[in-house]
Amino acid sequence: MPTKTAPNPVEKTYALPPPHLSSKTLHIAGILTTVFGLDELAPNTRETACLWLLHPRLQTQACMQPFAACTIADWNERIREGRAGSSQPAKGLIAVSFDQRNHGTREVDGLANEAWRAGNPRHALDMFSQIHGTAADTSILLDYLAAYIFPERDGVKVSQNMVFGVSLGGHAAWQVLLREPRMTTGIIGIGCPDYKSLMMDRARLSKLADWDSSDPSSFLGSKSFPRTLVAAVDKHDPAGLIMGQLERTINDSYVHELSENEEEKVSRVLDHTLRNKRILLLSGAADKLVPYRCGQSFLNFLKRAISTYYKHGGLVLEDLVFDGVGHEISPNMLKELIRFVDESLGAHVQDSGSISGELRTSSKI
C-alpha cells in the first residue's frame, strides 16, 4: 500500500523535465484552482478546450503539472505547424488542477487518506466519498471557470472539456464522465470502474476481520463496507450504476445474455451518462494496488454493449493494458494520453484507428 513517502507515480513518467508552462492560481468556489497554459493561448483564440487533471491519493494537484505541460506543449506545436485540424483559428488548450477533498490545502484528517493497512478503519467509506466529492467539485468549477479566466475577453469560451485522472483521480474521472454532460472525453490512468470489486480485493489482501473467504459477498454490508455505502456505490459508481440495471447477477467470468428489458434499461442509462463520449483506459498489467482484473467484468460488459445493442450510442472505448507496468504512469502511457487528447481536439493522428462505436483493446509493452 502507498504511503506519504512512497515514490510519486507521476514522477516516474519523465526522463527529462517537462517543458515550461505558465500557471495561474485562482480562488473559485472555495477551492484553490490552478489554470495552466493561459499565457500560451494565441491572441486570436476564440475558443479553447480544457483538460481537467485529477491527482492520486496521498498526492496534491502539484504533481499533475507535468501532464499539463506535455499535453499543452504538444498541442501548441501542432497549431504552429498547421497540424491541429481544420478550424481557423485553431482551438486552444488549457488545463486545470485542484486539490481533491482532504488533500493538500484541503486536508482535514490525514488518517482518512490512508488505507486499512495503515490504520484507517473507514478506508472504503473515506475514499469513495472523496471520489464522489471530486466529481461534484469538477462540475462546480466547470460552472465558473470561464468567468474567472476570461472576464474581459468577450466571445472567448471554453467549448470542450476533457478529464484525466491518475489512481484516485482515475476513479474520480469515471464518475465525472458519468455525471457531467459537458465532459466529453475521459482518460483513466490506473483507475477502476468497479469500486466494490476493488475494495473486496483489497479487504482480502488486508486480511480484515470481516472478510470471509468462504462468502466474499458478505463483506458488502459489513462494518468495513456499510450498507449505506453499498447504496451510494450503486448510485454513483460505473459498475454499480450500469450493471445495477440487470435483473440477474453476473458471474465474474461470464456475462449472461440480457433480456430485451435489461438491454433497454442499460441503454437508457448509457444514453444519460456516456453517449457519444470518448474514453481511454491506461492500465498496468503488473499493478497490484489497482489490479486490472478488478474492473474487467464491468469492462467486458461495457464492451459487449458497445459492440451489440448499444452500437448506435457513439461511445468510443480504448482499453490499453501495458505489460510490465505497475501502479504508475509509464512513458508509453503518456504518449497514448497525448495522442488521445490530440485526437479528441480534432487532429488527425497517424495509426490511431478509433472511430465512433469502435473498441480498441490491446496489451502494450
What digits encode the pLDDT tens for the residues 43-98? 888 899 999 999 999 999 999 999 999 999 999 999 888 877 666 678 999 999 99
For the CA atoms of 156, 162, 164, 165, what is the dihedral angle to 10 degrees? 100
Per DSSP, what are the bridge partners of residue 34?
Answer: 25, 97
User: Residue 168: its pLDDT value, please?
Assistant: 97
d(CA 50, CA 147): 14
d(CA 293, CA 102): 28
pTM summary value: 0.90
Q: What percent of the chain has pLDDT over 70?
A: 86
Enter the CATH code of domain 23-194+274-361.
Answer: 3.40.50.1820
User: Residue 88: its pLDDT value, please?
Assistant: 67
User: Residue 44: its pLDDT value, please?
Assistant: 85
Q: Please check the confidence at residue 32 and state whether its pLDDT lies above 80.
A: yes
Per DSSP, what are the bridge partners of residue 254?
Answer: 251
Count Cβ atoms below 10 Å from residue 17 Cβ, excluding itself. Answer: 8
Which of 21-30, 131-140, 346-355 has the least mean pLDDT? 346-355
Burial class of residue 68 (count of CB atoms within 10 Å of its CB; 0-12, 13-18, 19+): buried
Give domain limits for the chain.
Answer: 23-194+274-361
Whether the CA torsion 39, 42, 47, 48 is positive or negative: it is negative
Residue type, position 153, single letter:
R
pLDDT digits (tens, 9 = 90+) for 163-193: 999 999 999 999 999 999 999 999 999 999 9
For residue 203, the 8-state DSSP code is H
Confidence of residue 347 (pLDDT cuts 50, 70, 90): confident
Which of 41-45, 54-58, 264-268, 310-314 has the least mean pLDDT? 41-45
d(CA 178, CA 277): 10
